[in-house]
């Protein structure tokens, strides 16, 4: 996996977490849900890249 992909996935996770926290603090359920979804997308992308790395032997 390229370094760029790792950074993008980590950014998705971090932005998602921030949205979730802000949504929770402001009682904005839509923003909170968007944050959780964005985190999940980042997690799934990261897991896929980890599988690719495992098959490449890295």
One-character DSSP codes across 14-45? HHHHHHHHHHHHTT-HHHHHHHHHHHHHHHHH
Mean pLDDT rounded to a whole number for the chain: 91
Closest CA to 20 of 36, 42, 41: 36
Distance of CA 41 to the CA centre of its chain: 5
How would you class 35 by CB atoms within 10 Å of its CB: exposed for 0-12, middle for 13-18, buried for 19 or more?
Answer: buried
Inform me whether the pLDDT recorded for 11 exceeds 60.
yes
pTM of the model: 0.82
pLDDT class of 26 with cuts at 50, 70, 90 = very high
């Amino acid at each position: 996996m390229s370094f760029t992909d790792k950074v993008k996935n980590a950014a998705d996770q971090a932005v998602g977490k921030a949205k979730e926290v802000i949504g929770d603090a402001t009682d904005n359920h839509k923003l909170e849900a968007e944050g959780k979804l964005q985190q999940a997308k980042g997690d799934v992308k990261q897991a896929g890249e980890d599988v690719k790395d495992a098959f490449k032997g890295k």
